[in-house]
Amino acid sequence: MPVHYIWLFIAIVTETLGTTALQASQQFTRFWPSVAVVLFYGASFYFMALALKVMPVGIVYAIWSGLGIVLIAGIGFVLFGQKLDLPAVLGLGLIIAGIVVIHLFSGSQAH
């Protein structure tokens, strides 16, 4: 696996952790979750910047935000009891399908 995909994966995971901490911070009223938000988002942008050395910004952002949306929706469902109705699940499936299409068929993945 090329290293830029590892950087992008780390960026996605840390963004997802940052968003989870954002929910746990209760609008920045809890200290440690608020600190985690800043640290995880900082790490996410750093690793996304590393991926941008090789990959186009549109592709990086599509994958980063798309997978982040899907992961945080799952975390919201499991950890925070947030409900997903059928249209939400179908929409999340379309996001995943779009990422698969970019990965398998786009020649714009790396430069």
Residue that wins the pLDDT comparison between 107 and 79: 79
For residue 111, the model assigns a pLDDT of 56
Where are the domains positioned within the chain?
A: 3-105
Residues 6+ apart with CB under 8 A from 8: 47, 48, 51, 55, 60, 63, 64
- C-alpha angle 104-48-95 in degrees, rounded to nearest 5: 40
Note the pTM of the prediction, 2 decimals.
0.91
Quick check: helix, strand or coil at residue 110? coil
The confidence score (pLDDT) of residue 25 equals 97
Provide the 3-class DSSP secondary structure of residue 55: coil
The string of pLDDT tens digits covering residues 63-84 is 999 999 999 999 999 999 999 9
Closest C-alpha to 40, from 20, 62, 69, 70: 20
